[in-house]
Structure 1
Amino acid sequence: MAARIITVAQQKGGAGKTTVAAQLAVTWARRGNSVAIVDIDPQRSLASWHGWRMEHHPDGAALHLSDVAGWRLGTELDRLRDRFDMVVVDTPPHAETEARAAVRAGDILLLPVQPSPMDLWATRTTVEMATKEKTDALIVMNRMPPRGKLPDIMLEKLLEEGLPIAHTKLGNRVAYAASMMEGKGVVEYQPRSTAAREIGALAMEVLATLKGRAKKR
């Protein structure tokens, strides 16, 4: 079966794209899938994390890295489709040609959104891009605080606009960043933690969403 391509994108920088991409990739790999990660963000944060992982955690779940220029993405994805079960693409912020190509190529677009007005405004632009490229989008509420009015207001605004929101929400937890510092995913770093349960639930929800939408086509 051809790989399922998961594109992680957000017009606003700092929304947690790379962390979500890395954490999901490790989670799927730990569950027996062959996984490739593709970094087309000029900052190369995902590639840097993978390098640290290979140096300091070489016995971790295997992840193949493709660190390519964005203009080569189509060719690279063609090469990866028949070799892996899952391909996770980390994109640059802003509506650049490379990000648009990655959204177009994806089977699903995951869009991390923090509880802030700036993230909300940027989200509309990214969803519009996904609609134009005919790629299904799924908003992932990220770094959610345990309490406060702003997250509820954000959710209400997103629902009012009819935007697709994942049931699973990721909390503002130190474990995500701490695991990245170790070159790990949180399912390796603290497998019994709340963070590990959250990312595991999101990984399952993404796969279920892909299957459900495939049946409708």
Structure 2
Amino acid sequence: MDWSAAREGEPLFSVVGLPRASIHKEISQVGQGYDHIIIDGPPRVTDLARSAIMASDLVLIPVQPSPYDIWAADEVVKLVQEATVYKESLKYAFVVNRKIANTAIGRDVGEALAAYPVTLLSATITQRVIYAEAAAQGKAIFEISAEGPATNEIEALVAELMEFGK
């Protein structure tokens, strides 16, 4: 939420903080009037994460190309799979985030994630300074650079998510 507070001027969209394990009970009320809701949850197994997953139709699991993130993904995948017992329609996928271009680990992360029964999106997000700059200003990437690699990455991710979520 810090990034949204850094913004000067009118926000592009509403940002609401619900740091409690009852998101799945409150989401229908909070989300009235919106076509899409993004829940940015904790990257670890907690009651808050469980609630966020149960409130979701689609769970995007960002994984950095590092052994630590790949190992940590195991716990999140198990949590999401547990949720499918109660919510069979739940969709979930990995996205490679903060990929370092032209590195072996950046190329090999897909192979490591293939060990999981989880879709790996083809869109990836590369490590770029512009993402940190946009967050520091409370802006979306396209407000900083209407065209460019970062904007193209986000547009590709959104297009793939919209298709995957059908």
> TM-score, structure 2 length as denominator?
0.90
Name the residue aligned to 1:71. 21
Q: Which string of whole-angstrom CA distances, capped at 9 and with x for unpartnered residues, describes residues 13-64 of structure 1?
A: xxxxxxxxxxxxxxxxxxxxxxxxxxxxxxxxxx2211222xx132x52x11
Q: Which runs of 5+ in 2 are unaligned?
A: 85-89
4+ runs of 1 displaced by more than 3 Å?
Answer: none
Given candidates 29, 40, 45, the residue that maps to 1:95 is 45
Per-residue deviation, 1:115: 0.8
> TM-score, structure 1 length as denominator?
0.70
Given candidates 81, 94, 104, the residue that maps to 1:131 is 81
Which one has more relative contact order, counting CA pairs under 8 Å at least 6 apart? 1
Kindly indicate whether the alpha-carbon contact (under 8 Å) linking 1:57 and 1:184 is maintained by their aligned counterparts in 2: no
Q: 1:177 to 1:120 in 2, by over 3 A?
A: same
Q: Which runs of 5+ in 1 are unaligned?
A: 1-46, 212-217
> Considering only aligned residues, what root-mean-square deviation do their CA atoms show, in Å?
1.5
Distance 2:58 2:20 in 1: 18
Per-residue deviation, 1:126: 0.7
Name the residue aligned to 2:113. 158
Per-residue deviation, 1:162: 3.7
Q: One-letter code of the match for 2:6?
A: W
Report the number of matched residues. 161
1:1-217 equivalences in 2 (<5 Å) = 47-53=1-7, 56-58=8-10, 60-61=11-12, 63-134=13-84, 135-211=90-166
Q: One-letter code of the match for 1:206?
A: L
- Identity over aligned pairs, percent: 26
Distance 2:24 2:112 in 1: 35
Q: What SS does the corresponding residue of 1:133 show, helix, strand or coil?
A: helix
Kindly indicate whether the alpha-carbon contact (under 8 Å) linking 1:80 and 1:87 is maintained by their aligned counterparts in 2: no
